[in-house]
Structure formats: C-alpha cells, structure tokens
Amino acid sequence: MIRLWEEDPTALLANPPLLPLATLARTDSPADLLTQVTASVVLDFSSQSDLVNYLGNIVLPNLIWKIKRHLRKKKGGRK
C-alpha cells in the first residue's frame, strides 16, 4: 500500500497519467499544488468538455476527500 498523502508530489507531477494522484500527495500548500496540477492538466486537454469531465470526476472528489480528512484531523477524530 502506498500512502500518497505521505509522498512527495514531484514524481506524480512529472508523469501526466499520475497527475490526478498528485492532488492527494503531501504538501504544505494544497492550493498551490492544485494550481500546479490544474495548469498541467489544462495543457493536455483538447476540448473544454474533456477538462470539465476531468475536473468533475477526478480533481473535485480528491479535493473534497482532502478537505474532509483535514477537518477530521482538526476535530481530533478519525472516521
């Protein structure tokens, strides 16, 4: 098992198929990491519908998961 939240995102950012996973990697600045991923992804999409599909199905769920995890840690519980 790989704990992505403990991994450096550099290798994931360098590999386009792994870009969605980079949003789950360790970072001190989640907004900056998401900006990096988004900038890389935008270059790879030929149509706006592909980008919307990617953001809605990959990036947004990962971001929501990270936010929920962060909020649980702040409360001190693990659910």
Ordered by start, the domain boundaries in the chain are: 46-79
Q: What is the pLDDT of residue 53?
A: 74
Q: How far is CA 31 from CA 24, 35, 54, in A?
A: 12, 6, 18
9-15 LR contacts (CB < 8 Å, sep 24+)? 9/33, 9/36, 13/37, 13/40
> Residue 66: pLDDT band by 50, 70, 90 thresholds?
confident
Could you report the per-residue pLDDT of 30-61, keeping only the tens digit for each? 899 988 888 877 665 566 677 677 777 777 88
The total of other beta-carbon atoms located within 10 Å of residue 9's CB is 20
